[in-house]
Amino acid sequence: MVYRIDKKIVIAGAGIGGVTLAAQLASLGIECDIYEQQKLLSEAGFGLNIQPTAVSALYRLGLSEQLNSVGIQTRAHRYVDHLGTLLFEEARGIEAGFDTPQISISRAKLLNLIFSMAKDKQAFHFGSAFSGDFFNKADWADKLIVGADGIHSAVRRALFPDTTELNAGGIMLWRGMTIMPRLLDGRTMIIANDENGVRLVAYPMSKSHDLCVESLVNWVILVPMSYETLPETAINHFQATNFLLDLLKEWHFHWLDLQTLITMSKTIMRTAMVDKQPLEKWSHGQCVLLGDAAHPMFPVGANGATQSILDAETLAYALYDYPDFESAIVAYEYVRIPAVSKIVMANRKMNERDLMLQNLAPQERGQEIAITTTNYETETIKEMFGLTPYKNLGLL
């Protein structure tokens, strides 16, 4: 196939989605410019998960060895109560029958790995915030603009000003990361609930720590808004740890010291859990959205980074395969919008389920988790298969 698009592609945002698109385009011999508001590639962030379909996409980029030497191949999600009693365990990645693993990894390390596949081949402009004014630049008239500028996307604001409202999930997310003795087998994600609707998600995310028989544990505590007693303004580390320790004072796991987990995290960050109502279109003219700019979602399905990587792969191949931007965008939207919109809605449902668990008798919770987790998988799994599926749909 000969690459026929001879006009330049401009990407706003060098986050996971934007950098993956730049790397995918580089692998196909297509040039692009990337504008990132930060002065350097972000070192920020805690851990995230990449589901097997997106791991396959990154393997196709040539990152298999690097990913496996940096991240953890997650074996299972283990659901427990606040005393660590097993409610349900679900195999993940290769153990669940996929050809590739689910990988838990530091966001900064993942971003760096993907960046390494693009940095020498594409033009990165750091310290350049994209704004509505960019659309008025005369010499940009024939360019494709890709808004990969995250949840508060300026590109989305310019394209669809009425769709920027955040939908609050009624939950605060408290994130940290702590070096601990190896957590269980070093490859298990813990998802714990108590009777007040407080949840803890914790998982190892660093291979180098695992090799030293310890775990760099990424943790997130999900707190219903009604339990939030701290002011919305800046709070210090001491206030944050005290608040979280008090919240978990009735919790006890004999295999994970929660006090150490919270107090020994160098940083603790608090954000509200939000998403946005799915859009019917992600594009207008020669401008298209990707990743969180198009579809921010609740993190409960561990799918945010995965979907931005799959968006990037699909868009890159569409741009390679089609003769003009318009047809490429049609193919990209045709595949990705219905798939990702379903996941946004499934994540909302899963969040409601998690909050409802507290109303069930302890012996019923495991069964409920088994049912809804299986439903989530069947509702979303076929949506997670990536590589240029428009080819199979007869669109090309």
Ligand X SMILES: Cc1cc2nc3c(=O)[nH]c(=O)nc-3n(C[C@H](O)[C@H](O)[C@H](O)COP(=O)(O)OP(=O)(O)OC[C@H]3O[C@@H](n4cnc5c(N)ncnc54)[C@H](O)[C@@H]3O)c2cc1C
When the beta carbons of 87 and 111 are compared against ligand X, the nearer one is 111
> What is the token pair recorded at 268?
């603790």
Between 348 and 391, CB nearer to ligand X: 348
Geometric angle at alpha carbon 105, from 389 and 312, rounded to 5°: 25
Rounded distance between C-alpha atoms, residue 223 and residue 94, angstroms: 32
Cβ distance to ligand X smaller for residue 43 or 195: 43
| Cβ pair 121, 26 in contact under 8 A | yes
Measured from the CB atom, the residue of 87 and 151 that comes closer to ligand X is 151
- Shortest reach from residue 63's CB to ligand X, in Å: 15
Burial class (CB in 10 A: 0-12, 13-18, 19+), 384: buried
Q: Which residues of the chain form contacts with ligand X (CB under 6 A)?
A: 12-18, 35-38, 42, 44-46, 48, 107, 129-130, 148-150, 154, 175, 291-293, 299, 304-305, 308
Write the CB contacts of 81 (distance below 8 Å, at least 6 apart in sequence).
87, 192, 193, 194, 362, 365
- CA dist list (Å): 153 to 91, 201, 290, 301: 35, 27, 10, 22
Please check whether residue 285 is in contact with residue 262, taking contact to mean a CB–CB distance below 8 angstroms: no
Least separation in angstroms between CB 195 and ligand X: 26
Residue at shortest CB range from ligand X: 15
Q: Which is nearer to ligand X, 82 or 203 (CB)?
A: 203
**Degrees to nearest 5, angle at CA 194 with 192 and 197:** 100
Closer to ligand X by Cβ: residue 38 or 373 = 38
Q: Is the Cβ of residue 2 or residue 234 nearer to ligand X in the bound state?
A: 234
Residue 105 · residue 68 · CB < 8 Å:
no
Pick 61 or 87: Cβ nearer ligand X? 61
Nearest distance from C-beta of residue 95 to ligand X, angstroms = 22
- 3-state secondary structure at position 270: strand
Cα–Cα distance between 128 and 236 in angstroms, integer? Answer: 31
Contact 9, 144 (CB under 8 A): yes
Q: Read off the tokens for 348.
A: 């909302």
